Structure 1
Amino acid sequence: MSHPQRAAAFTSDAERTTWHDETLWFVRQKRDKAAYGVPEFQQLRQLASDIKEHTLSRLDEYLEQFERNARANGVQVHWAADADEHNRIVLSIIKAAGASSIVKSKSMLTEECHLNPYLQQHGIAVVDTDLGERIVQLREEAPSHLVLPAIHLKKEDVGETFHQHLGTPKGEKDPQNLTEAARLHLREKFLIGQVAISGVNFAVAETGAVVVCTNEGNADLGVNLAQVHIACMGMEKLIPRTADLGVFTRLLARSATGQPVTTYTSHFSQPAPGRQMHIVIVDNGRTRQLGRPDFRNSLKCIRCGACMNTCPVYRRSGGHSYNFTVPGPIGAILSPNIDLHKHSTLPFASTLCGSCTDVCPVKIDIHNQLYKWRQLIAQSNALPLGKKLGMKLLSWGLARPGLYRLGGKVAREGLRLLPRGLSHAAALNPWAKARELPEPPAQSFREWYQQTVTQ
């Protein structure tokens, strides 16, 4: 299914669509308040962008430096060219540890690599310990947001899910009670987890350490109780120095949830005595994106989700409509790099209003990249047939001034004479379902110009 088809399924529930839209806009407003509270916020954005630009320009050197320092700390470093290799490496570490029970904190990279189903196929039980991730895991759904994976669900949905899987009373929807039930359920999983898998928010080349940011402390519980810690990171997560980290931690939480800082910002640099720490560094299309001059800036992304919270299309179509691990505007840039034909509709899931670019904490020119992807998709003959024919017809009409003038005159008269029931009929004009058509002018701009300027 294309994005428009999936979006149509989400928007068929008007009440949920409205609620989803308003909830994410509330998060966007929290972001604005947090940003305005820091006078130097715009300077921080520019500095973060410059640091990422520098790092990407010397990524090979910083990756080698990071590996050297991590190994010196007693960490085992692995390299994965793609998702399949990443999954095989993780499975081999788990098997070498003789483990069968895994606890995993939120990691969009492992979602990208489809690690959970891979491990389950090999008899490994995987429990996501982030509350939102656990909710969607129990429902056998993918996360719909980078930071708020269950934002598409209401408390009644969560209550029903917990009733089915955790045995809570039917009809329970009190958030406090549901959270307590989840805490009891997950504490048991932490205690029996033999291997802990975490994501990586930032990796510091200078020290070989990885930094994990959470609000629930679930990553810390998993890592400190398990004998083996596997940290999975995309190679773009690197920053050069520990001194650079403060720039990003000041931006990340404010951009994501409107908080001054995440509740837990944990540094993992070496394994505890008698334990193991592994870092798996993953490419999976990142070097290909790095080699695209028009799109390399997308690798600056720190996965805050700010572009999703502000995007009018994402807010109304839901994250699952993108059918990609990273939804929203940034996902619409990253996904064609992985499979252009499969994700050819995503760069068109945007108004190109530029709001995503305005809120991006590392100043990625998201709307410009969406426009450039549209051009590449057209050149690659990957446009849907309807859009392709529509654009050809439109270009043919726009190239004929006489026909264009006639069409405008017919449209103006038609809007004036047609009854509202016909001009606003959903089957004929779906655009007008949620919008009022403008009052047709008495004359076109060209007619006005000739009448008032050229005479």
Structure 2
Amino acid sequence: MSDFTTPSFLNRADAALADPILKIAVERTAGTAEAKRAIAIDAFPDFEAARTRAAAIKDHVIAHLGPYLEQFEASAIAAGAQVHWAQTADEACQIVMNICKAAGAKSVARSKSMLGEEIGLPHALEEAGIGRVETDLAEHIIQLADERPSHIIWPAMHKTREQVSALFKAKHRTPHEEETIAAMAQSARRELRAKMLGADVGISGANFLIADTGAVCTVTNEGNAELSLVPPRVHIVTAGIEKIVPSMPHAIPMLRMLARSATGAALTQYTTFYTGPRRSGDRDGPEEMHIVLVDNGRTKMREEGLADMLRCIRCGACMNHCVVFRQIGGHAYGGTYPGPMGAVLTPALDGLASNRDLAHACTLNGKCQEVCPVKIPLPTLLKGWREKSWREGLEPTSMRAGLGLWAWVATRPALYRLGTGLAIRAIRLLGRKGWIASLPLAGGWTRYRDLPKPAAQSFMTQYQREQRK
């Protein structure tokens, strides 16, 4: 749940734009991700056909969610797992706390899970007095800094290498001495390894749930899921109900889309399927496996026109290519999920009234939809939130009055052309060397960037002149 009720999105975005270090950190990671994805897609000639198939798989499951969830439950129970159902975030956390208490857990190793962040699981563990270690390297950084993730794949992308180095030196028992990435990674390994292996309970999310086998799939780049989920006595999975796929032949093409879209790799380094707890004859594995299936508004989304958003496989491609995210980073969005996907999900999860600005932050350039591996029409969904905000009277009076005035002028072509001509002349007077550094009523734009000086004539005037030639 969002805990960024104050300050507002506009104030958070303003602060982010004023932070030059943030822009450097975000651009380093997002820019690299964009370039690597492009190479991976160029090497995958059937990518468009694969996108169509992936979207069709997700649409089929969403349309038949009930039967597939029932099949998954039966298959998971047959494999020895225990399945729990949670309607809300609070209910999901309470189920997890009850399992931990029954196990006598004093320490928990957690593999990165945005669903866990969504339901507030880190806070719930803290309130219950259960020690928590985040085993993903980026999540470890976030935990040390006492911050929230700023990206769903790279939670610490807002921090530079230099900031991470300073943090490790301040927080690690045996910090690195050399200023290299390898030395910093080794420092984190020393800090985390014993805690992973000694945890009483391992908690993970799920990238996919396989209906016909009851298997849970996790995808990581570091192998931290395997180390934090296999040694503990109890493995708890928290997963959104939309993570279901019918079978392994459906999971494999989804994995191919996920890896290429998220990191530009053909396949992620560690892709693991867990099917029940340890069986007789197994050399390792937990004694108990619990799977908590979480709704938390997903059924409502399906019923209220947001079913397309349930296709999302959490690859992060939409935010890596978003011109707004690349300027303000993830924390400015305020909720669990940043970027274009967050601008759609946060109003659904936390309410539109307190998050209406998110949809207005989008330029609607369509890049997010273009790169989405499951073809989610993000701009259309964002326009839907704008329309709902208008219908429900959530837009400020100043905006409604301003748009009303614009509509009145726009429906009078002669007056509109006269106003446009006068505005162009007035704005050009503020230009210097082709740019406008300051513009009345546009300080939010010109405070951090220059505005191009407009042409001497409007587009329509230039077009009509060309037509007469």
**Is the counterpart of residue 212 in structure 1 residue 225 in structure 2?**
no
Q: 1:289 aligns with which of 284, 290, 301?
A: 301
Partner of 1:322: 333
Instruction: Check whether the contact 2:115–2:205 (CA below 8 A) recurs between aligned residues.
Output: yes
Moved more, 172-181 or 335-344: 172-181
SS at match of 2:260: helix
Q: 1:305 aligns with which of 313, 316, 320?
A: 316
* CA pair 365-419 structure 1, distance change in 2 beyond 3 A: closer
Q: 1:245 aligns with which of 227, 241, 251?
A: 251
Distance 2:372 2:400 in 1: 32
Residue 342 of structure 1 and its aligned partner are, at CA, apart by 1.6
Partner of 1:332: 343
Partner of 2:407: 395
Moved more, 1-10 or 300-309: 1-10
Residue 385 of structure 1 and its aligned partner are, at CA, apart by 4.5
* CA pair 196-15 structure 1, distance change in 2 beyond 3 A: closer
Distance 1:30 1:98 in 2: 45
Distance 2:361 2:431 in 1: 32
Partner of 1:379: 391
The 5 A counterparts of 1:10-159 are 10-159=16-165
Moved more, 368-377 or 233-242: 368-377
Partner of 1:180: 186
Q: 1:437 aligns with which of 422, 429, 452?
A: 452
CA deviations 1:82-132 (Å, max 9, x no partner) are: 000000000000000111100000000010011111111111111111000
Paired letter, 1:155 = R
Q: 1:367 aligns with which of 379, 389, 398?
A: 379
SS at match of 2:250: helix
Residue 284 of structure 1 and its aligned partner are, at CA, apart by 0.2
Instruction: Check whether the contact 1:46–1:363 (CA below 8 A) recurs between aligned residues.
Output: yes
Paired letter, 2:456 = P
Q: 1:276 aligns with which of 285, 288, 306?
A: 288
SS at match of 2:154: coil
Distance 1:386 1:153 in 2: 37
Q: 1:226 aligns with which of 228, 232, 237?
A: 232
* CA pair 178-444 structure 1, distance change in 2 beyond 3 A: closer
Distance 2:458 2:113 in 1: 57
Instruction: Check whether the contact 1:423–1:429 (CA below 8 A) recurs between aligned residues.
Output: no
**Is the counterpart of residue 200 in structure 1 residue 212 in structure 2?**
no
Distance 1:22 1:101 in 2: 35
SS at match of 2:324: helix
Instruction: Check whether the contact 2:436–2:451 (CA below 8 A) recurs between aligned residues.
Output: no
Paired letter, 1:119 = L
**Is the counterpart of residue 262 in structure 1 residue 271 in structure 2?**
no
Residue 444 of structure 1 and its aligned partner are, at CA, apart by 6.2
Paired letter, 1:343 = N
CA deviations 1:174-219 (Å, max 9, x no partner) are: 2111110100111111122000001100001011111001111111
Structure 2 unmatched ranges of 5 or more:
1-6, 280-285
Distance 1:417 1:151 in 2: 41
Instruction: Check whether the contact 2:437–2:449 (CA below 8 A) recurs between aligned residues.
Output: no
Residue 386 of structure 1 and its aligned partner are, at CA, apart by 4.3
Paired letter, 2:168 = F
* CA pair 9-452 structure 1, distance change in 2 beyond 3 A: closer
* CA pair 170-41 structure 1, distance change in 2 beyond 3 A: closer
Distance 2:468 2:154 in 1: 57
Moved more, 231-240 or 19-28: 19-28
Residue 222 of structure 1 and its aligned partner are, at CA, apart by 1.2
Distance 1:123 1:415 in 2: 60
SS at match of 2:296: coil
Distance 2:458 2:47 in 1: 47
Paired letter, 2:438 = A
Residue 159 of structure 1 and its aligned partner are, at CA, apart by 1.2
Residue 143 of structure 1 and its aligned partner are, at CA, apart by 0.3
Distance 2:314 2:430 in 1: 49
Aligned residues: 453
Distance 2:145 2:138 in 1: 11
Residue 403 of structure 1 and its aligned partner are, at CA, apart by 3.3
Partner of 2:4: none
Q: 1:355 aligns with which of 349, 367, 381?
A: 367
Paired letter, 2:310 = L
* CA pair 19-270 structure 1, distance change in 2 beyond 3 A: closer
Paired letter, 1:383 = E
Paired letter, 2:252 = G
* CA pair 399-269 structure 1, distance change in 2 beyond 3 A: same
Distance 2:266 2:44 in 1: 10
Instruction: Check whether the contact 1:160–1:170 (CA below 8 A) recurs between aligned residues.
Output: no
Structure 1 unmatched ranges of 5 or more:
none
Q: 1:425 aligns with which of 438, 462, 466?
A: 438
Distance 1:138 1:416 in 2: 50
Instruction: Check whether the contact 1:106–1:133 (CA below 8 A) recurs between aligned residues.
Output: yes
Distance 1:330 1:367 in 2: 10
* CA pair 103-410 structure 1, distance change in 2 beyond 3 A: same
Moved more, 116-125 or 69-78: 116-125
SS at match of 1:441: coil
Instruction: Check whether the contact 2:437–2:450 (CA below 8 A) recurs between aligned residues.
Output: no
